[in-house]
Amino acid sequence: MFDDPPKQDDDMRNWFLYFRMTKHLPGMPMKFEAEMKRAKTAPRAKMVLTAYAAAALDVVFFCGFRPNGELSKELQETFGLKPAQMMMLSVHDIAAPLKVGADKVTERLTEGGFTVSPSGIITGFEAPAEIRRPHAGRTFKFNS
């Protein structure tokens, strides 16, 4: 059984803490899925998604083990958070509960392949070259 979610839908800090203070890391995605099913309005869904993205980024930024170029892979494998879910979120809203500047969040996201508009909205994603999958049918030669 999970702890109770925040009572006020517009309280970003409490939503962040609700996800971030989960004692068992796999519980974070389970909480997120449960709360998204309960989201009856677009503002509530966006608040939950933004807080969850901030909590996931907090773990990855401060505890992650992969290079920055593999940010999307780590988010997806650990938290089930796909790059498409990050689209249209504000780096300013994500940065607030992290207690780091939006410029630092933008820098890390950009290194991970995300595109951030000048106004601070995540607008795109392209996997960095070093983690892109090879095209189908392409063969590689190994030196023997």
Taking the C-alpha atoms of residue 109 and residue 82, their distance in angstroms, rounded to an integer, is 13
pLDDT, average across residues 101-121: 95
The C-alpha atoms of residue 17 and residue 140 are separated, in whole angstroms, by 46
Query: What's the whole-number mean pLDDT along residues 36-49?
Result: 93
Confidence of residue 62 (pLDDT cuts 50, 70, 90): confident
Confirm if 105 and 62 have CB atoms less than 8 A apart.
no
- Mean pLDDT along residues 90-97: 96
pLDDT band at residue 130 using 50, 70 and 90 as cut-offs:
low
- Which residues, at least 6 apart from 117, have a Cβ–Cβ distance to it below 8 Å? 123
- Between CA 7 and CA 106 the distance in angstroms is 30
Helix (H) or strand (E) holding 18, with range, is helix 12-20
Rounded to two decimals, what is the model's pTM?
0.84
pLDDT at 2: 62
Structure confidence at residue 135 (pLDDT): 47
Is the predicted pLDDT of residue 85 greater than 50, yes or no?
A: yes
